Amino acid sequence: MSALEHRWAKVTAFATFLLLMAGGTVNPTGSSLACPEAFVVCKGSLFPEMTGGVLFEHGHRQIAMLVGLLQLGLSVLLWLRRPAMKRLAVVALVMVALQALLGALTVHFKLPWFVSTGHLMLAMAYFATTLYEVWRTRPAPSSEPRRASTSTRRWIAIGGAAVFAQILLGGLVRHHGAALASIELPLHHGAIWVSGAPLPLQLHLAHRIGGVVVGTIAIISAIGIMRGARDWPALRRTAMAVPLAVLAQISLGVLVILSFRTVSITVLHFGGAALLWGLFASMWLMSSGIVPAERRAQAAAVAEAHV
């Protein structure tokens, strides 16, 4: 079977990560409403002058359109050439359509926090889906796919869920304008938490606390995964990247405040969150014992030949 689908899936996943990074530039540059139209065009043009906020907002839209076209092409390929993946092809395409709708509603209703946050979380879910498409379309390995122990899978699930929850909290911080609600480090007026504080400050402090708690959970989870993957080099190497990513992410979070939310650092901090999520999603797929679609097709052909 051709590897075209696998290569296409990898390009789609990479483009989706770039889209996440591009999306991460929109809010910190104040460009969220640089294009008044909710769909496709910006200031009446598909290709407006890419200056100021338009560069970030419409640039994000253009990359989103590219990802949409990539997913459309991939879904068509999977539907026609990999029957076992028809449902995944449809689900991924529906996710892209819903994501576009949420993006349009975000602009149309002038950035309601719940729509913007939903837009972010669906983006992360779709990123994980693209990784699943890459994993399912990979060439059939020479040996049977492995499934990790229940304990190892549990550690992956715990770490991944914690990271996803922290991304949600970070989204709430962003969409409530709370990134600089406190500029004191490591405590706010000498306290970890301030009872009765305004919502933006509560979200900011909760995100700080969450960073430490989730970072600790992620590192402990990585250690548990490494212990359960002593004879599984690929899974072990992926787990080893988690502590490094956590330390980098916490450092970037501190720098976001110290630099008064410099755009480049803020975007890197967002990208670090996506990377951590991608690491845990990849480990979940790697450890799941999923049979590649190619092998399933081969098994089906053999079974049909013996009928």
Segment-wise mean pLDDT, segments of 10 residues, the chain, 307 residues: 87 98 95 89 90 94 96 97 94 97 94 96 98 91 79 98 98 96 95 96 97 98 96 95 98 97 97 98 93 57 50
What values do phi and psi take at 185, rounded to 5? -135, 145
ω before 243 within 30° of 0 (cis)? no
**pLDDT at 121 (0 to 100):** 97
Please, how many CA atoms are within 13 Å of residue 252, restricted to the half-sphere of its CB? 18
Measured CA to CA in angstroms, residue 188 lies from 174, 206, 208, 261, 291 at distances of: 19, 12, 11, 17, 51
**pLDDT at 303 (0 to 100):** 47
**pLDDT at 30 (0 to 100):** 94
Angle formed by the axes of helices 4-26 and 53-81, nearest 10°: 160
Q: Under DSSP, is residue 215 helix (H, G, I), strand (E, B) or coil?
A: helix
Q: Is the entire prediction scored with pTM above 0.85?
A: yes
Q: How far apart are CA 41 and CA 58, in angstroms?
A: 8
Q: How far apart are CA 248 and CA 250, in angstroms?
A: 6
Please choose, from the candidates 136, 31, 119, the residue with its C-alpha nearest in 3D space to the C-alpha of residue 83: 136
**pLDDT at 3 (0 to 100):** 87
Measured CA to CA in angstroms, residue 38 lies from 19, 33, 43, 224, 307 at distances of: 18, 9, 10, 46, 55
Tokens 């770490």 correspond to what residue? 159
Q: How far apart are CA 279 and CA 220, in angstroms?
A: 15
**pLDDT at 296 (0 to 100):** 54
**pLDDT at 302 (0 to 100):** 46
Q: Under DSSP, is residue 65 helix (H, G, I), strand (E, B) or coil?
A: helix
Query: Length of the chain in residues, anyone?
Result: 307
Please choose, from the candidates 65, 73, 121, the residue with its C-alpha nearest in 3D space to the C-alpha of residue 97: 65
Tokens 């991944």 correspond to what residue? 160
* C-beta separation of 92 from 133 below 8 A: yes
**pLDDT at 142 (0 to 100):** 61
